[in-house]
Amino acid sequence: MLDSTQPQDRNKIHGTPISVLICTRNRPDDIILVMPNIMSQDYPNYEVIIVDQSTDDVSEERIKADYGTDPRLRYIRPGTVGLSIARNQALAEARHEICAFTDDDVEVPLDWLSKIERAFATYPETDVLFAPVLVPKDQRQRKDLHFACLPFEEARVLNKGELFGMGANMALRKSFFAKVGQFDAFLGAGAPLPGSDEHDWLYRAHLIDGVIRLDPTNAIEHRAPRTAEQWLRLNYLVAFGDAAFAVKHLRCGDLKMLILILHRLAYMGARTLVKFIRRRYWYCDSVYFKRYWLGIWGGRKYRIDRATRLFICAK
């Protein structure tokens, strides 16, 4: 947990308004469950920006019916597709320095923003803050469902180059985002290379010596169960994006990515083989291994702006 004995300068950030950023697409039943806790935070000064890329008006109608008169809420329908694009748009609209991202299928505690404020105030050198994403308590005994989550218990700063954290529970300084640059529009959900958008941005944050901190005290629950078939599909997307992200930086002359690619292929290949020999469930690992190879080739299809390390268009 955060160490209360560390020096603090709360006057610089205490009471500073926070921008809560939520990106959604065709999930009206999910986002309507997220909103009560978002709009009932015990923090006194914050705005909520929803970037809705839905193909219909259901989410907007439901949210505005319940919260449309609340001056803290701004609802944006950009007509775009892709999570990275939505995040960039949300940050462009944010009015405040501290920006807190969460997803449209989570449950946040009522003191979520208060803890984010305390973390930045206690450690003012922090540029990016990640907190845990957990399986819902009432679903932890289910063996037939899978949840994308990220539990951890240690409060620390990430080592340079360490890729760890989920965008579902991420806060950052808008001024630091401007230094790192945008989330890559060609990576992530809804993009041509569907995955690793968060890791790509985090890696670029490390390149400029960003301070990325983990706070285990501010967990949220990820209410997004997936069946075995859906989990397999997710692994397919993640593998493809992981490889494309690594190839992009390798093409920029970053030889550390060659080591990363070779290590990932060796590790996943060995893991798949061992599980197969032991007659344990191995198909998911096999899919990741195969799709990683495809992602290597996928990452070569697009031109790159080497100055920003962003994909820009097809070759």
Say what the pLDDT of residue 13 is. Answer: 45
- In a 13 Å sphere around the CA of 278, the CA atoms on its Cβ side amount to 9
Say what the pLDDT of residue 42 is. Answer: 95
Tell me the mean pLDDT per 10 residues along the chain, length 315: 40 73 96 96 96 97 96 96 97 98 96 97 97 90 84 97 96 98 95 93 98 98 87 83 94 94 85 72 71 89 95 83
User: Which stretches of 10-81 are assigned E, i.e. beta strand?
Assistant: 18-24, 46-52, 73-76
Say what the pLDDT of residue 280 is. Answer: 64
Which CATH class for the 10-225 domain? alpha beta
From residue 299, alpha-carbon distances to 103, 176, 185, 199, 234 in Å are: 27, 27, 13, 15, 18
- In a 13 Å sphere around the CA of 105, the CA atoms on its Cβ side amount to 14
The pTM assigned to this predicted structure is 0.89
Say what the pLDDT of residue 12 is. Answer: 44
Say what the pLDDT of residue 282 is. Answer: 55
Domain residue extents for the chain: 10-225, 229-314
The SS3 assignment for 22 reads strand
Say what the pLDDT of residue 4 is. Answer: 39
Structure tokens at 9: 């300068």
